[in-house]
Structure 1
């Protein structure tokens, strides 16, 4: 589990490197009408992280908790991601990750095997859940890189 926790712990640094020095124009650039700009991706990552912490902590503390899917597009629209201050959310993401790392590092093998039930994905262990959110961040960093490339190509 040490490698998994280390990957989780390094997430904020990987995200910071991906967005370091980006102009406001690039942060707001959408490669297509139905795609998100980098600013929305970063705010989404923070909102997803809040959900991740809730799920992880409930798996650790409660017997077989139930989780529900959330609609990221509805959150982005209804919470008006475009008008929000991305730097606040970036700081919150860092704090959320930093708060969870010591908890994860202190878990036993039995804790990692504890489960919760997702209303669409079924039963998930804590290990699977943490891995999902590590990969979730990685996928969005790839999306950020694609946006940066598309922006450079259209110039």
Structure 2
């Protein structure tokens, strides 16, 4: 079983996401999140999907699109680092991504299908990594981190946004 990344194994600003991930098998946690996302969002109407809890905040559809885009980026970083690429990987501007994606034009069903497809690809990648790949270090998000830390960041980022959805949207 893959153990939780330790301090120094990821840029410090990702620590809150890693802390949210429960102990146990990370693959199991990531699989369970597919069900959690569907349980929470499958019955959301299109009108509810456009809801913003405050001025300037993302719609629920934008939150789901952001979760998916962020996972794409983190999984790409994980792939590069796991394969031994030490090229520094750039940060990304989440506001820019959301503002240019126009997620509100998609149906909730389409956004959920996209999340599921990206998560399936992430799980496929993760299942194929050996211990050596998990331990490899690279540069992302303004610091140094392991491939293993990125698997935990993916899971913790989803938990973070599922919590926000529960508290502020539904």
State if a TM-score over 0.5 links the two structures.
yes
- Does the aligned pair in 2 maintain the 1:65–1:116 contact within 8 Å? yes
**Which residue does the alignment assign to 2:145?**
124
Shift of 1:119: 4.6
Over aligned residues, Cα RMSD in angstroms? Answer: 1.8
- 2:156 is aligned, of 129, 135, 140, to 135
Of Structure 1 and Structure 2, which has the larger fraction of its residues in helix? Answer: 1
User: What number of residue pairs does the alignment pair up?
Assistant: 148
Structure 2: runs of 5 or more not aligned:
3-23
**Which residue does the alignment assign to 1:152?**
none
- 2:169 is aligned, of 142, 148, 155, to 148
The more displaced of 60-69 and 31-40 is: 60-69
- Does the aligned pair in 1 maintain the 2:78–2:150 contact within 8 Å? yes
**Which residue does the alignment assign to 1:95?**
117
Moved over 4 A (4+): none
* C-alpha distance after superposition, 1:81-121 (max 9, x if no partner): 2223443332122122212323322322211111120252x
- Indicate how the Cα distance of structure 1 residues 79 and 87 shifts in structure 2: closer, same or farther if over 3 A, else same: same
- Indicate how the Cα distance of structure 1 residues 89 and 22 shifts in structure 2: closer, same or farther if over 3 A, else same: closer
TM-score normalised by structure 1 residue count: 0.84
Name the SS for the 1:116 alignment partner: strand
Q: Distance in 2 between matches of 1:8 and 1:72?
A: 22
* C-alpha distance after superposition, 1:103-141 (max 9, x if no partner): 322322211111120252x11101111111110000110
- Indicate how the Cα distance of structure 1 residues 22 and 89 shifts in structure 2: closer, same or farther if over 3 A, else same: closer
- 1:50 is aligned, of 60, 69, 72, to 72
